[in-house]
Amino acid sequence: MPRSTPDIPNASMADIAFLLLTFFLVTTTVANDKGLSIILPPPPEALPPDVDVKIQERNLFKIQVNSFDNILVEGNPYTGSMRELSDQIKEFVLNNGQNPESSDNPEKAIVSYKTDRGTTHKRFVEVLDAVQRAYYEIYAERAGVTTKKWLEISGDLADPDNRKLYDLGRGRTAEGKPEIPMNVSIAEPSKVGG
Amino acid sequence: MSKFKKKVVVKQDIPTSSMPDVVFMLLFFFMVTTQLRETNINVKQILPEATQLKKLARKSLVAYLYIGEPKKIEEWGKEAKIQVNDVFIAPKDIIQWVNQEKSKLNEFERDLMTVSMKVDVETKRGIIADVETELRRANARLVLYSTRQKAEDN
């Protein structure tokens, strides 16, 4: 008895595949989760009460932004570019006591960043970006890599080679602390109008 | 007699027999990379631009929080709102939300959870600072301000 050979028509297969392809093309959202990462300080309740930490004026680099998005750097109105701001911060961090007005050493240097409750997020990110760029450029230069590469390295510390470069860039004291810590203090914003 | 040789006729057909294979390959690629969005974002989302971007290593350890002016102003007003999983919440509910997100993770991973803040450019710092204070209380201190890559470096 002759067996009928079952045939599935496959001429339309490409069309079906195309249809599915278009569907997935349209619905795809490429995961683009990138941004500026920070670590928030411990909760206000956990901090020891009324401990006045004395920080010398010279070790503070003050950036303030008001509700009109105007910037004060070290108390003076600032209108320059963000690139110049990064360069100023780099100079401040790496001063090592040369200029008596600027920081003693990178470990003590603190960038203090205060905004107003009315400051826009756009401005906040712009300035934070400039501050982080200053530090990343210092690290990258010490590690002998590009800043872009540095950001990749710091995102994957499980790799021992990366870890080595990371420690080279930030420096590592005997206690395992970085020689150039990223001391950025983001203060609670002032009330509107400040 | 012509000096020129007659041109050789070249076959010009592009082989189409492998087209379905190519299409299937693309199809599988998009099938694998696709993730259907399960939340509708109800706040404006124009992310700010920055240069020093870090990538998040593991997506499973990320919790998303959206802040911005509501899209439906007539219904929700112009004041910036905080959205998580399809609903608007008040700053005081953030601790509860963080705990809920953390309970989805393994115990040893809970301290590694990152909160990705997708904040619209126009949003004022005030509400963001309130959220940050609550995140500190909830012990979710790793924060990523989600941004776009700035084209030129200046």
Range of the domain at B71: 49-149
In a domain, A126, yes or no: yes
Least Cα distance to A180 among A194, A170, A188 occurs for A170
Which chain A positions have a beta carbon within 8 Å of B56's beta carbon? 33-34
The 10s digit of each residue's pLDDT in B100-134 is 999 998 888 888 899 999 999 999 999 999 999 99
Residue B101, φ and ψ in degrees, nearest 5: -65, -40
Distance (Å) from the C-alpha of residue A22 to the closest C-alpha of chain B?
Answer: 8
Q: Which residue among A17, A32, A45 sits closest to B23, beta carbon to beta carbon?
A: A17
Structurally, how many domains does chain B consist of?
1
- For residue B112, the domain's CATH number is 3.30.420.270
**Regions of chain B short of the pLDDT cut 70:** 1-3, 35-38, 152-154
Question: pTM of this prediction?
Answer: 0.79
The 10s digit of each residue's pLDDT in A41-97 is 888 777 777 667 788 888 889 999 988 989 999 989 999 899 999 999 999 999 888
Q: Which residue among B50, B54, B132 sits closest to A40, beta carbon to beta carbon?
A: B132
In a domain, B77, yes or no: yes
State what percent of residues in chain A have pLDDT above 90: 28
In a domain, A115, yes or no: yes
Q: Strands B114-119, B142-146: parallel, antiparallel or unpaired by DSSP? A: parallel
In a domain, A116, yes or no: yes
Structurally, how many domains does chain A consist of?
1
In a domain, A105, yes or no: yes
Distance (Å) from the C-alpha of residue B97 to the closest C-alpha of chain A?
Answer: 17
Question: Is A29 within 8 Å of B37 when comparing Cβ atoms?
Answer: yes
**Per-residue pLDDT, B154:** 47
On whether ipTM exceeds 0.85, the answer is: no
Least Cα distance to B114 among B68, B67, B59 occurs for B59
Question: Is B124 within 8 Å of A117 when comparing Cβ atoms?
Answer: yes
Which chain A positions have a beta carbon within 8 Å of B59's beta carbon? 31, 33
Question: Is B133 within 8 Å of A188 when comparing Cβ atoms?
Answer: yes
Distance (Å) from the C-alpha of residue B3 to the closest C-alpha of chain A?
Answer: 48
- CB contacts under 8 A, B 69-108 vs A, are none
**Per-residue pLDDT, A78:** 92
**Per-residue pLDDT, B98:** 93
Q: Which residue among A24, A34, A82 sits closest to B54, beta carbon to beta carbon?
A: A34
Q: Residue B41 gets which letter from DSSP? A: -
Range of the domain at A116: 56-143+180-190
Q: Is A52 in contact with B72 (CB distance < 8 Å)? A: no
Given a cut of 50, is residue A13 above it in pLDDT?
Answer: yes
The 10s digit of each residue's pLDDT in A154-179 is 888 888 888 888 888 888 888 888 88
Residue B48, φ and ψ in degrees, nearest 5: -70, 170
**Per-residue pLDDT, A107:** 86
Mean pLDDT, chain A, rounded, equals 85
Distance (Å) from the C-alpha of residue B105 to the closest C-alpha of chain A?
Answer: 19
In a domain, A69, yes or no: yes
In a domain, A186, yes or no: yes
B125 touches chain A (CB under 8 A): yes
Q: Residue B90 gets which letter from DSSP? A: -
In a domain, B84, yes or no: yes
Question: Is B144 within 8 Å of A37 when comparing Cβ atoms?
Answer: yes
Distance (Å) from the C-alpha of residue B5 to the closest C-alpha of chain A?
Answer: 42
In a domain, A64, yes or no: yes
**Per-residue pLDDT, B120:** 93
In a domain, A15, yes or no: no
- What's the residue count for chain B? 154
